[in-house]
């Protein structure tokens, strides 16, 4: 299912999230994360990379020498780098303000090739703004951990600075290589869905030294593949949470080179964090193989979904209440439930 087509045909809207090309130099804008602030502002964290992803679609008979996936970056900078921009949009989903989030206070010399905070979800907890993503540049082996990054936003002069960053340990023995794609529960500060099915909810403690503990571990639903984090978990009504998760189907082309197909599902939760429904039909946004949802927010009665397209474009999609309710109903009546 193409969700964009379905949403727009029912009265929704698709809008690009674009900042001037003299800032990006033509490299990737991707994986935005949307939230609605207390004053009604639509805020988006927009990831900018120093590379462009080439992806060979369809039959893949003309891939690059590296395969169907290739990261094209400046010759003088072989690292894959990320910076983040804070964007404000109006209710017509047009960009009104943007700024680079200033991280210089806490930056250190990177020791691995993936540099910066990747795929950061935006959330406001205890009247503080946070970006929560994975960082892999502080360990020489690229070990990834989620970071809780507090930012200060100046809405009058429109600027944003990083105040602090806390590297979140994995719960338990902390022996995993890469923790990523935890998604925050918007109305439950410092709580995350670490795994969707089976369900694992963790709570982080931002006080130093930081720690993380499991608070819910329970069965999920018998989905056919691993559902990984996408959007924030948001409250839809007094009895229901929703989130959007992705599943990756790895494959190999005719030369034996690895590729991946990203598709998404709507997940429905109750107040006890039981996964009670998953959309029966996996969906794309614009029918590309590489797409990634990193944000969701409720705007009045409608749903905003922010997603990246082939690591090269960022969009926000407004889905009307009727379409969302239909998707929730389909998820709840899915025969696997």
Asked if residue 174 belongs to a domain, the reply is: yes
Q: What does the alpha-carbon distance between residue 209 and residue 197 come to, in Å, rounded to a whole number?
A: 30
- Answer whether residue 252 shows pLDDT above 80: no
pLDDT score of 173: 65
- Which regions of 126-210 does DSSP assign to beta strands (E)? 128-135, 145-154, 159-167, 183-184, 191-195, 199-205
Q: Which residue has the higher pLDDT, 60 or 109?
A: 109
Do residues 85 and 61 make contact, with C-beta atoms less than 8 angstroms apart? no
In terms of residue numbers, what domain contains 287? 3-332
Number of domains in the chain: 1
Q: Which residue has the higher pLDDT, 64 or 306?
A: 306
Backbone torsions φ then ψ of 239, nearest 5 degrees: -115, 0
Q: Which residue has the higher pLDDT, 54 or 23?
A: 23
Q: Given strand 240-252, what is the order of strands in its sheet?
A: 234-237, 240-252, 258-269, 275-278
Asked if residue 193 belongs to a domain, the reply is: yes
The string of pLDDT tens digits covering residues 116-161 is 999 999 999 999 999 999 999 999 999 999 999 999 999 999 999 9
The string of pLDDT tens digits covering residues 24-41 is 888 889 999 999 999 999
Asked if residue 146 belongs to a domain, the reply is: yes
Tallying the residues shown for the chain, one arrives at 337
pLDDT score of 52: 80
Q: What does the alpha-carbon distance between residue 268 and residue 253 come to, in Å, rounded to a whole number?
A: 34
Pairing of strands 95-102, 80-89: antiparallel
- Answer whether residue 56 shows pLDDT above 80: no
Q: Which residues pair with 165 in a beta bridge?
A: 149
SS3 324: helix
Asked if residue 297 belongs to a domain, the reply is: yes
Q: Quickly tell me which residue has 């889905």 as its tokens.
A: 319
Do residues 228 and 196 make contact, with C-beta atoms less than 8 angstroms apart? yes
Q: What does the alpha-carbon distance between residue 41 and residue 86 come to, in Å, rounded to a whole number?
A: 12
The string of pLDDT tens digits covering residues 257-297 is 767 778 999 999 999 999 999 999 899 999 988 899 999 99
Q: What does the alpha-carbon distance between residue 146 and residue 28 come to, in Å, rounded to a whole number?
A: 22
Q: What does the alpha-carbon distance between residue 318 and residue 73 come to, in Å, rounded to a whole number?
A: 33
Q: Which residues pair with 69 in a beta bridge?
A: 55
pLDDT score of 298: 97
Asked if residue 197 belongs to a domain, the reply is: yes
CA 102 → CA 108, 123, 159, 165, distances in Å? 13, 18, 8, 12
Share of the chain above pLDDT 70, in %: 96
Asked if residue 198 belongs to a domain, the reply is: yes
pLDDT score of 9: 97
As a whole number, mean pLDDT of residues 233-238 equals: 97
Contacts of 105 (CB under 8 A, 6+ apart): 161, 162, 163
| pTM, 2 dp | 0.93
- Answer whether residue 316 shows pLDDT above 80: yes
For the chain, the average pLDDT equals 91
pLDDT score of 237: 96
Contacts of 158 (CB under 8 A, 6+ apart): 88, 97, 98, 99
Q: What does the alpha-carbon distance between residue 57 and residue 309 come to, in Å, rounded to a whole number?
A: 13
Please give the structure tokens belonging to residue 139: 């360990």
Pairing of strands 258-269, 145-154: unpaired
Asked if residue 337 belongs to a domain, the reply is: no
Do residues 84 and 131 make contact, with C-beta atoms less than 8 angstroms apart? yes
Q: What count of other Cβ atoms lies within 10 Å of the Cβ of residue 218?
A: 13
Q: For residue 64, what is the domain's CATH number?
A: 2.115.10.20
At 337, is the pLDDT very low, low, confident or very high (cuts 50, 70, 90)? low
């Amino acid at each position: 299912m193409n969700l964009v087509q379905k949403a727009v045909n029912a009265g929704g809207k698709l809008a690009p999230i674009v900042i001037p090309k003299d800032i990006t130099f033509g490299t990737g804008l991707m994986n935005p994360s949307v939230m609605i602030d207390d004053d009604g502002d639509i805020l988006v964290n927009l990831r900018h990379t120093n590379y462009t992803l080439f992806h060979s679609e369809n039959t893949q008979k003309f891939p690059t020498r590296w395969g169907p996936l290739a990261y094209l970056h400046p010759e003088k900078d072989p690292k894959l780098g990320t910076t983040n921009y804070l964007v404000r949009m109006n209710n017509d989903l047009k960009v009104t303000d943007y700024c680079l989030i200033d991280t210089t206070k806490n930056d250190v010399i990177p020791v691995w090739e993936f540099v910066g905070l990747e795929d950061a979800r935006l959330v406001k907890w205890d009247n503080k703004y946070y970006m929560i993503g994975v960082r892999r540049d502080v360990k020489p082996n690229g070990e990834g951990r989620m970071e809780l990054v507090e930012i200060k936003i100046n809405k009058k002069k429109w600027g944003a600075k990083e105040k602090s960053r806390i590297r979140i340990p994995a719960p338990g023995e902390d022996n995993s290589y890469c923790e990523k794609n935890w998604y925050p529960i918007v109305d439950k500060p410092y709580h995350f869905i670490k795994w969707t099915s089976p369900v694992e909810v963790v709570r982080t403690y931002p006080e130093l030294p930081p720690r993380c503990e499991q608070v819910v571990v329970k069965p999920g639903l018998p989905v056919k593949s691993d559902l990984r984090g996408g959007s924030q978990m948001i409250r839809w009504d007094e009895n229901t949470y929703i989130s959007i998760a992705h599943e990756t189907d790895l494959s190999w082309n005719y030369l034996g080179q690895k590729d991946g197909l990203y598709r998404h599902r709507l997940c429905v939760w109750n107040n006890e964090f039981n996964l009670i429904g998953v959309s029966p039909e996996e969906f794309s946004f614009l029918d590309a193989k590489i797409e990634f949802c990193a944000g969701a927010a409720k705007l009045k009665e409608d749903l905003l979904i922010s997603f990246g397209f082939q690591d090269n474009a960022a969009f926000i999609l407004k889905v009307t209440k009727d379409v969302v309710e239909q998707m929730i109903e389909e998820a709840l009546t899915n025969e696997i439930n």
